């Protein structure tokens, strides 16, 4: 008796003990599900800890733009500048101020309307020049906001059909101080490597900040829900939209929670129905589902224990794990039923022992190859993809352990009355594939080459350019809100241009020289030439405002600086603090890119911007481009390289695993070839269909290959075991009639399971589900045609 049969015998003899141990593990590890967290901040879609990210954090801290939410108000049947609008804005603003964390609420009613002044005043009190103080007429308000240098695209759209309320929030003092300490240390990475001590300090600070950040995230969610509730009564008179990074995070959490529930319950029900339709025995329905449930429970507990957080990228891990656990169980069930049909082993426990002995090796290596697919994501250098890879490696280890230990235990305790398979409706399909691979080997190879060539041509059409708006279904609230803010209020993706004032432009006793103002004017004029650029704000806008107040006469540099010095410091900080850092001799030009711009190529836009600035005499060292637009483009620029790297690693790693399993280079290459062709073909299909690479679609090829090669392993392993005694033709026939059914069942169920991801509101998840399912079908077709044709032609003995 082999060691595998001995271990299976031990499992059967101690089935109750094994079951109790699993129950204890589920309860003990499952306890940590309470620590399972969802992270839906915008940072989860970025590559953290690289220089661009750190630089953006440093700039954000230096200019201290306050946390805010934008609330857009679009009247349905009344004028924007009307008593009704003003009354609504007043009521909404008063209600918003009742929220605990709200620091200020800014609208057209309480911003300083300095254009109403006859001349510049150095002793002005801006609160004296608001609608609330002056009660300007509706016509006067419209006149003031028409082509306003500061407020157009910020508080009023260009068409003057909508206005916005800016809700500013107080900073958590303790969390803010921890963030400043973290950035102060990370900043040093811009000029060199951090020491181990510094890295440890950062980790300790992050650990201290974590509970405060979690509490703040919960409070933000409650605040956003309250805001939606308090504006609900006004929606009969106006369309209301919320915008901002934290609104996006809130909506992402809702999508993740919805996906976790939908994919968890939906796929579980689907699995139950499919298992009953295939096997017609309640044991072969409930026992695999129990294994799936245990896998998910243990995995979520481990994620909580290890501090892993699920993001919108990894929100489909439950669906993946259910499918992967089920695949192993199906292979075990099919083999168990085949042994029962053969009649060689009539004893139930002997059948289990033989099933385990026959399938533990291919199942283990199948799980290993799937893990290799996920492990290849670790080298992508894209943080959310790397995190997803680690999560799925843990999940796969749990799935293999549960499938190979718990499932045989449960079957031994709850034996089916009849295990023999009945007649399958899929038999004609298998027989047709067997005939094709036996008698039309050359035709199969020719068709494969033609399809591969078509895939190769599509591969050349792959693109990474993608709008963030397109990540969400058009019917979703988040898509509608993002699109409206993007199109009506000057863009949705922030891009900061930080200009370092050169020595040649600095003058003693002057904060800004005329030459510096002219440089800002050139930069803003350049930005406004681009269709995709929306709102642009800098110190230059304030000089334009001063010019308008001064009867159209520009201020000299000395008048401008005198005005600056005469203004109260708190007022200076309030008006200019987000755009001028005197101590660092830096100016910030804040712009927002309209993500919905047709044909926007981010890489070309940034390169064009840098080129034109150089032509204007602005040296590259004087300019820094930061914020979300740059970080998102950095992600896109890494996608091609990451796709090549992950595929290269997964091909080599799988070849080594297959070589280790089969101990034959020829067999390893034959097993690898159909799966390589399938991954290249799916990328070609993406190219032909103009589906761009994104944070999820770059994982499809590597993951799908890791999963699809499982069936290949089972097929080749069974063929190899029998070809030495029966020859290639009979070995091929027997493999088709035994393993073939398991391949069909697992591939069909996995494909349909992945297809349920199309119910998600996150479009990359939809693509992930459909394309991974398509890859599985292509791999199944290759395993039932090309693979046996190659085996029967080139492997005629073990």
Position 526 confidence tier, pLDDT thresholds 50, 70, 90 = very high
79, 714, 746, 723: which is closest to 359 by C-alpha?
Answer: 714
Q: Are 362 and 717 in contact (CB under 8 A)?
A: yes
Exposed/middle/buried for residue 173 (C-beta within 10 Å: 0-12, 13-18, 19+): exposed
10, 266, 58: which is closest to 182 by C-alpha?
Answer: 58
- What does the alpha-carbon distance between residue 5 and residue 353 come to, in Å, rounded to a whole number? 6
Say which residue the tokens 């605990």 belong to: 100
The per-residue pLDDT for range 233-291, each reduced to its tens digit, is 999 999 999 998 889 888 888 888 888 777 777 777 888 888 888 888 888 899 999 99
355, 350, 361, 429: which is closest to 737 by C-alpha?
Answer: 429
Position 106 confidence tier, pLDDT thresholds 50, 70, 90 = very high
Region 79-105: mean pLDDT is 95
Q: Are 527 and 533 in contact (CB under 8 A)?
A: yes
Runs of H (alpha helix) within 489-601 = 514-527, 539-549, 557-566, 569-576
- What does the alpha-carbon distance between residue 760 and residue 462 come to, in Å, rounded to a whole number? 24
Structure tokens at 420: 């023999």
Task: State yes or no: pLDDT of 44 exceeds 90.
Answer: no
Region 715-741: mean pLDDT is 87
Residue 160 main-chain phi, psi, to 5 deg? 55, 40
330, 355, 326, 327: which is closest to 340 by C-alpha?
Answer: 355
CA 537 and chain centroid, separation: 30
Helical axes 628-662 vs 665-688, angle rounded to 10°: 150
CA 133 and chain centroid, separation: 47
Q: How many CA atoms lie within 13 A of 167 on its CB side?
A: 27
Region 62-88: mean pLDDT is 92
Structure tokens at 618: 């602005």
Q: Are 281 and 422 in contact (CB under 8 A)?
A: no
Structure tokens at 313: 């990228």
Q: What is the pLDDT of residue 49?
A: 60
Structural domains present in the chain: 3-41+249-460+633-794 (1.20.1640.10), 67-243 (no CATH), 494-593+601-626 (no CATH)
Task: State yes or no: pLDDT of 140 exceeds 60.
Answer: yes
Position 514 confidence tier, pLDDT thresholds 50, 70, 90 = confident
Region 282-308: mean pLDDT is 92
Calculate the average pLDDT of the chain. Answer: 87
- What does the alpha-carbon distance between residue 187 and residue 555 come to, in Å, rounded to a whole number? 38
Task: State yes or no: pLDDT of 571 exceeds 70.
Answer: no
DSSP string of 747-761? HHHHHHHHHGGGGSS
675, 695, 697, 698: which is closest to 781 by C-alpha?
Answer: 675
Residue 74 main-chain phi, psi, to 5 deg? -120, 105
Q: What is the pLDDT of residue 9?
A: 87
Exposed/middle/buried for residue 261 (C-beta within 10 Å: 0-12, 13-18, 19+): exposed
Higher pLDDT, 5 or 659: 659
Exposed/middle/buried for residue 293 (C-beta within 10 Å: 0-12, 13-18, 19+): middle
Q: Are 760 and 793 in contact (CB under 8 A)?
A: no
Structure tokens at 593: 């890119």
Q: What is the pLDDT of residue 41?
A: 60
Position 112 confidence tier, pLDDT thresholds 50, 70, 90 = confident
- What does the alpha-carbon distance between residue 784 and residue 773 come to, in Å, rounded to a whole number? 17
Position 796 confidence tier, pLDDT thresholds 50, 70, 90 = confident
Q: What percent of the chain has pLDDT over 70?
A: 95
Residue 528 main-chain phi, psi, to 5 deg? -70, -10
Alpha-carbon distances of 244 from 47, 166, 267, 382, 486, rounded to whole Å: 20, 10, 34, 24, 11
The per-residue pLDDT for range 346-355, each reduced to its tens digit, is 688 888 999 9
Residue 104 main-chain phi, psi, to 5 deg? -160, 155
128, 87, 793, 96: which is closest to 444 by C-alpha?
Answer: 793
- What does the alpha-carbon distance between residue 219 and residue 170 come to, in Å, rounded to a whole number? 12
Position 429 confidence tier, pLDDT thresholds 50, 70, 90 = confident
Task: State yes or no: pLDDT of 42 exceeds 60.
Answer: no
Among 302-311, 396-405, 454-463, 618-627, the range of highest mean pLDDT: 396-405
Task: State yes or no: pLDDT of 572 exceeds 80.
Answer: no
Q: Are 615 and 342 in contact (CB under 8 A)?
A: no
- What does the alpha-carbon distance between residue 707 and residue 712 come to, in Å, rounded to a whole number? 10
Determine the 3-state secondary structure of 102 from DSSP: strand
Position 220 confidence tier, pLDDT thresholds 50, 70, 90 = very high
Higher pLDDT, 708 or 285: 285
Q: What is the pLDDT of residue 423?
A: 53
Structure tokens at 546: 């001063």
Q: What is the pLDDT of residue 481?
A: 93
Higher pLDDT, 249 or 300: 300
Beta strands 102-106 and 163-169, pairing class: antiparallel
Q: Is 305 left (phi over 0), alpha (psi -120 to 50) or beta?
A: alpha
First to last CA, the chain: 22
- What does the alpha-carbon distance between residue 650 and residue 706 come to, in Å, rounded to a whole number? 8
Residue 165 main-chain phi, psi, to 5 deg? -105, 130
Dihedral over alpha carbons 620, 623, 624, 627 (to 10 degrees) = -130
Q: What is the pLDDT of residue 120?
A: 67
Give the bridge partners for 243, in sequence order: 70
> pTM to 2 decimals?
0.84
Q: Are 671 and 709 in contact (CB under 8 A)?
A: yes
Q: What is the pLDDT of residue 420?
A: 54
Contacts 24+ apart (CB under 8 A), 525-529: 526/609, 526/612, 526/613, 526/616, 527/497, 527/589, 527/591, 527/609
Q: Are 345 and 357 in contact (CB under 8 A)?
A: no
Position 47 confidence tier, pLDDT thresholds 50, 70, 90 = low
The per-residue pLDDT for range 329-384, each reduced to its tens digit, is 998 998 888 888 776 546 888 889 999 988 999 999 988 888 888 888 888 878 78
Biggest CA–CA distance in the chain, Å, is 103
- What does the alpha-carbon distance between residue 223 and residue 100 come to, in Å, rounded to a whole number? 9
Listed in sequence order, the residues at least 6 apart from 595 whose beta carbon sits closer than 8 Å to its beta carbon are 467, 468, 469, 482, 486, 491, 492, 493
Q: What is the pLDDT of residue 689?
A: 92
Residues composing the chain: 798
Alpha-carbon distances of 307 from 36, 252, 257, 512, rounded to whole Å: 7, 20, 18, 49
Position 789 confidence tier, pLDDT thresholds 50, 70, 90 = very high
Helix (H) or strand (E) holding 581: strand 580-581
Determine the 3-state secondary structure of 205 from DSSP: helix
Helix (H) or strand (E) holding 76: none
Least confident of 55-64, 86-95, 571-580, 681-690: 571-580
- What does the alpha-carbon distance between residue 72 and residue 86 come to, in Å, rounded to a whole number? 14
Position 568 confidence tier, pLDDT thresholds 50, 70, 90 = low
609, 47, 492: which is closest to 251 by C-alpha?
Answer: 492
Cα four-point dihedral sign 526, 527, 528, 529: positive
Determine the 3-state secondary structure of 73 from DSSP: strand
613, 552, 776, 535: which is closest to 679 by C-alpha?
Answer: 776
Alpha-carbon distances of 413 from 288, 410, 649, rounded to whole Å: 14, 5, 42
Q: What percent of the chain has pLDDT over 90?
A: 37
Higher pLDDT, 103 or 756: 103
Helix (H) or strand (E) holding 249: helix 245-279
- DSSP collapsed to 3 states, 352-395: HHHHHHHHHHHHHHHHHHHHHHHHHHHHCCCHHHHHHHHHHHHH
Q: What is the pLDDT of residue 288?
A: 93
Q: What is the pLDDT of residue 530?
A: 93
């Amino acid at each position: 008796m082999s060691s595998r049969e001995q271990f299976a015998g031990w499992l059967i003899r101690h089935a109750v003990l094994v079951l109790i141990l699993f129950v204890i593990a589920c309860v003990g590890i499952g306890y940590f599900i309470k620590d399972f967290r969802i992270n839906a901040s915008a940072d989860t879609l970025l590559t953290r800890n690289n220089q661009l990210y750190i630089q953006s954090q440093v700039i954000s801290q230096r200019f201290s733009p306050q946390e805010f939410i934008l609330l857009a108000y679009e009247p349905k049947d009344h004028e924007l500048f009307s008593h009704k609008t003003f009354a609504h804005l007043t009521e909404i603003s008063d209600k918003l101020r009742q929220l605990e964390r709200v620091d200020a609420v800014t609208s057209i009613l309480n911003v300083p309307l300095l254009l109403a002044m006859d001349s510049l005043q150095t002793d002005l009190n801006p609160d004296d020049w608001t609608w609330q103080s002056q009660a300007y007429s509706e016509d006067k308000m419209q006149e003031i906001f028409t082509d306003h240098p500061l407020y157009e695209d910020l508080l009023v759209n260009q068409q003057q059909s909508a206005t916005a309320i800016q809700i500013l929030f107080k900073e958590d003092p303790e969390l803010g101080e921890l963030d400043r300490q973290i950035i102060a240390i990370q900043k040093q990475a811009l000029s060199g490597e951090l020491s181990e001590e510094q890295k440890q300090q950062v980790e300790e600070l992050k650990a201290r900040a974590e509970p405060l950040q979690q509490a703040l995230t919960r409070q933000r969610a409650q605040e956003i829900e309250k805001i939606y509730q308090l504006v609900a009564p006004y929606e009969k008179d106006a369309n209301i939209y919320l915008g901002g990074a934290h609104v996006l995070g809130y909506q992402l959490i809702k999508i993740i929670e919805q996906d976790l529930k939908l994919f968890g319950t939906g796929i579980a029900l689907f699995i139950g129905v499919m298992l009953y339709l295939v096997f017609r025995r309640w044991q072969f329905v409930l026992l695999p589902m129990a294994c799936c449930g245990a896998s998910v429970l243990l995995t979520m507990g481990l994620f909580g224990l290890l501090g892993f957080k699920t993001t919108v990228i990894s929100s489909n891990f439950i669906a993946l794990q259910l499918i992967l656990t089920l695949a192993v169980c199906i292979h075990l069930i099919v083999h168990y039923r085949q042994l029962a049909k053969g009649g060689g082993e009539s004893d139930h426990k002997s059948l289990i022992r033989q099933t385990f002995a026959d399938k533990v090796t291919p199942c283990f290596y199948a799980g290993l190859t799937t893990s290799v697919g996920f492990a290849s994501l670790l080298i992508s250098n894209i943080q959310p993809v790397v995190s997803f890879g680690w999560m799925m490696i843990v999940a796969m280890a749990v799935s293999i352990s549960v499938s190979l230990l718990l499932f045989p235990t449960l079957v031994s305790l709850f034996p089916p009355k009849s295990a023999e398979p009945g007649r399958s409706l899929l038999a004609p399909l298998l027989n047709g594939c067997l005939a094709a691979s036996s008698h039309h080997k050359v035709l199969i190879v020719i068709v494969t080459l033609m399809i591969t060539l078509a895939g190769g041509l599509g591969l050349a059409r792959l693109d990474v350019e993608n709008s963030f708006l397109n990540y969400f279904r058009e019917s979703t609230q988040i898509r509608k809100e993002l699109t409206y803010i993007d199109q009506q209020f000057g863009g949705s993706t922030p891009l900061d241009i930080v200009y370092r004032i050169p020595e040649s432009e600095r003058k003693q006793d002057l904060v800004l020289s005329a030459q510096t103002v002219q440089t800002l004017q050139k930069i803003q004029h350049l930005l406004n030439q681009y269709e995709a650029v929306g709102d642009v704000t800098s110190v230059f806008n304030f000089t334009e405002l001063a010019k308008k107040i001064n009867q159209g006469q520009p201020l000299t540099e000395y008048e401008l600086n005198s005005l600056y010095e005469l203004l109260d410091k708190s007022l200076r900080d309030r008006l200019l603090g987000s755009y001028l850092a005197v101590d660092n001799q830096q100016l910030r030009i804040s712009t927002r890119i309209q993500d919905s711009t047709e044909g926007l190529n981010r890489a070309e836009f940034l390169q064009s911007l840098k080129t034109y600035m150089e032509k204007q005499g602005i040296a590259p060292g004087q300019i820094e481009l930061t914020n979300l637009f740059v970080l998102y483009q950095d992600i896109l620029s890494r996608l091609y390289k990451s796709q090549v790297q992950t595929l290269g690693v997964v091909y080599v790693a799988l070849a080594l695993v297959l070589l280790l399993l089969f101990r034959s280079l020829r067999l390893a290459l034959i097993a690898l070839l159909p799966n390589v062709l399938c991954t290249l073909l799916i990328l070609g299909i993406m190219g032909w269909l103009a589906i761009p690479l994104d944070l999820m679609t770059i994982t499809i090829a590597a993951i799908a290959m890791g999963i699809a090669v499982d069936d290949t392993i089972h097929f080749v392993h069974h063929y190899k075991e029998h070809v030495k005694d029966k020859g290639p033709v009979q070995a091929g026939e027997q493999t088709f009639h035994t393993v073939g059914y398991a391949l069909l069942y697992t591939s069909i169920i996995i494909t349909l399971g992945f297809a349920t991801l199309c119910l998600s509101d996150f479009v990359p998840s939809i693509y992930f589900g459909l394309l991974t399912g398509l890859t599985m079908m292509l791999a199944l077709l290759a395993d039932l045609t090309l693979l046996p044709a190659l085996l029967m032609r080139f492997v005629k003995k073990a």
